[in-house]
Amino acid sequence: MAKLFERRLTPSDSPIAIFATTAAAFLTAMLVTAFLFLSYGASPFQAYFALFHEPFGTLRGFGYSLVRTSPLALIALGTIVSWRSGFSYLGFEGCFVIGASATAWLALLTAPGARIGPIPFFLFLPLAIFVGFVAAGLWAGLVGFVRARLGGNEVLISLMSNYVAIFILQYLVSGPMRAPGSLPETRILPRATWLPFILPGTRAHAGILIAIAAAALVWMLLEKMPLGYELIVTGFNAAAARYAGIDVGRRIMLAAFFAGGLGGLAGMVEELGSQHRLMDGINGGVGFVGIVVALLARLNPVAVIPTALLYGGMSVGADAMQRRASIPSSITFILQSLAVLLVLAFDALRYYKINFSVFSRGAPPTATEEASK
């Protein structure tokens, strides 16, 4: 008897196939979500127009979309480095907080009258990138050390480390770094340390350029460099990597350091580009959303920037949809969640093909059925 799904001889890994399955999953999620719009008596076309027009059809909305894109893309890149290396790290909330805290500490030291004093921006920015990257890289590297040398579970440890980092942030903004006043936050960072705005009339800042550069560097690391090859081999099969002479433990710690550093850069970009002061709750769940972006991009660094832009733009458009179509913005989160689940489900189409002949009468027997006879 013919089967509806037949396994392909080799997976379909072409860019066209990957794009087609992703687009089909996203369109299916939009179709399912459209029924939720109908329950509110709203037109799905009007709702989707409001959802996508604000972030991508107006300059102001596009600027906000770029602001949301930068930290999401950097955390997604960190996820790609760690997960493709076989290191299932989930502590990017903590890395984001540590990177933001280290950046704010450095920026406040460059305020007029502070210990370091004002320095030119072209010197401050590389120093801020280094401090944010290394601080968060060492934070994640501790988890990598426990996994590589002590055999600990990195999923559980990294999740718990998020809370430790958040408690450290609360201590800093409530104690040694707190500005005079009642709110748990620092002084505003010196204006000379802010990332420059790149689109006139918008809040879009140079953080998106840092994210694009990071995506290019991650692609070069994983696709063109021997170290990246060793990281990927370690992720595919640690035993084979050891047989080939690769120090698996060291590669895991390197993957943890690079992944955490990218998460720290996300905190640095948010601190210098948007918030301009350190405060409790600065993370806002971006560490987990960045992991979702990585999954939507199928752990491909080339697809991270457009995927993060789409995801961030939908977050911006959710408020516009609520204003114009009187639809709760929470429906946008349903759409985003469905998209992720369906992208993962539709990925099976790269390994199986649909046999439409089972729907027709008198279909000829398959090769398997002929052989069984």
- CA angle in degrees (0–180, nearest 5) for 143-130-308: 75
3-class secondary structure per residue, 129-180: HHHHHHHHHHHHHHHHHHHHHHCCCHHHHHHHHHHHHHHHHHHHHHCCCCCC
The mean of the pLDDT values for the chain is: 88
Q: In this structure, which amino acid lies at residue 130?
A: F
> What is the DSSP pairing of strand 352-354 with strand 5-7?
antiparallel
Looking at the predicted structure, is the pLDDT value of residue 370 above 60?
no
Residues 261-318: tens digit of each pLDDT:
999 999 999 999 999 999 988 888 899 999 999 988 889 999 999 999 998 898 888 8
Cβ–Cβ under 8 Å, residues 21 and 349: yes
Closest CA to 305 of 290, 286, 287, 288: 290
Q: How high is the pLDDT of residue 1?
A: 47
Instruction: Decide: 138 and 261 in contact? Cβ < 8 Å.
Output: no
Residues 98, 134: Cα–Cα separation, whole Å = 10
- Report the amino acid identity of residue 16: I
Q: Which residue has the higher pLDDT, 134 or 369?
A: 134
Arithmetic mean of pLDDT, 3-29: 77
Contact 287, 75 (CB under 8 A): yes
pTM above 0.85, yes or no: yes
Within 10 angstroms of residue 364's Cβ, the number of other Cβ atoms is 10
Q: Where are the domains of the chain?
A: 1-40+328-373, 65-317
Nearest to 185 by CA among 193, 173, 176: 173
Q: Which residues contact 370 (CB under 8 A, 6 or more apart)?
A: none
